[in-house]
Chain A
């Protein structure tokens, strides 16, 4: 027994074509927006973008004014005054043993370079 069609084939085709039209319109709209942005961001002869933004490559190829010396960012410290002591409840029964799969340890750890006067 053949299944009964819920919709007339022509009706489905109409819905489909409407969907394609909407998608096409959105695509055209997006393309126009991108084109407008490209015009605004016209690349200058020196490689810098007109609105002041630079491409990642430009960061390393333009001369930059010297920075000022300053401190490194220290590692965050733990404020021990905010740590509260938890109450440990007495276990009423013997603990159950559960097998938890543990991923294998990395084969090679990172060897940090050392600073030395070797240069």
Chain B
């Protein structure tokens, strides 16, 4: 997943190995940089029906649901844009390259993807591709946390690249307290909750240069271009939710749509959110103060 995984477990130390195996397993199924992954096979299926792992069925369902719930602010079909802009190769493993052989057809909705949950198959129309992106990391954190709790852990904290899911008893026996890094890397805030998840999105992460232009990976689905970084602009967003997958989805939605549009969406789903601008100012929705 091109990031560091941080796994903390209250319970049998052997649960750490179970977590490592599961994270590696999901990486092999979901990475767009691995040719044999379910996602790469789907993206290069040219409309054919592909049999995938049950977890991938779950992932595809979440990708479709996330776009629907955020009214398109979270869009999992932006892979052709990223590749065209130059983000084709893994930052951490340059030997791994994304492939996407068909031309995008932007008029096709993700709801046209057909899923057979009983046969574990997915059919994507030609012209649609999927990029799990941050949602994949959040969902992986949720799945691993749930697996470890079902295996007897008393408490679990899973962080996959900063998408963090905490459940059960914390190491201190109290609530979970997690630092929030500012865009400059300072840890001036802490989120506290009994159970839940937190995720942060930023335009200053995963950047690259193309023809002297510095680009980043957060794409506005309306313009199909990276979010603007000129003038006063949103730099980072953080969301706190019940699960890491939703924290990730809403942190992306806030960054893409800005607070005026995204905060009412967060309020409607009881998501706490904060947005930080390039001049250092921050804005939060009303739920934020319950956790920070």
Contacts and interface: CB of A to CB of B under 8 A. Distances in A.
Interface in A62-116: 62-76, 110, 112-116
Contacts of B56: 63
Main secondary structure of the interface of B (DSSP, over half): mixed
B204 A70 contact: no
A116 B58 contact: no
A60 B162 contact: no
A119 B195 contact: no
Nearest to A74: B290
A72 B143 contact: no
Interface residues of B, number: 77
Most chain B CB within 10 A, of A61, A110, A114, is at A114
B162 to A, nearest CB: 5
Contacts of B281: none
B71 interface: no
Interface of B: 1-3, 6, 8, 22, 54-58, 61-62, 65, 69, 117, 120, 134, 137, 143, 146-147, 150-151, 157, 159-164, 170-172, 175-181, 183, 185, 187, 191-206, 236, 238, 240-243, 245-246, 249-250, 269-272, 287, 290-291
Question: What are the 10 tightest A-B residue pairs by CB atom distance, in nearest-first order?
Answer: A117-B202, A72-B196, A119-B161, A63-B57, A71-B270, A113-B159, A116-B181, A69-B246, A110-B171, A114-B179
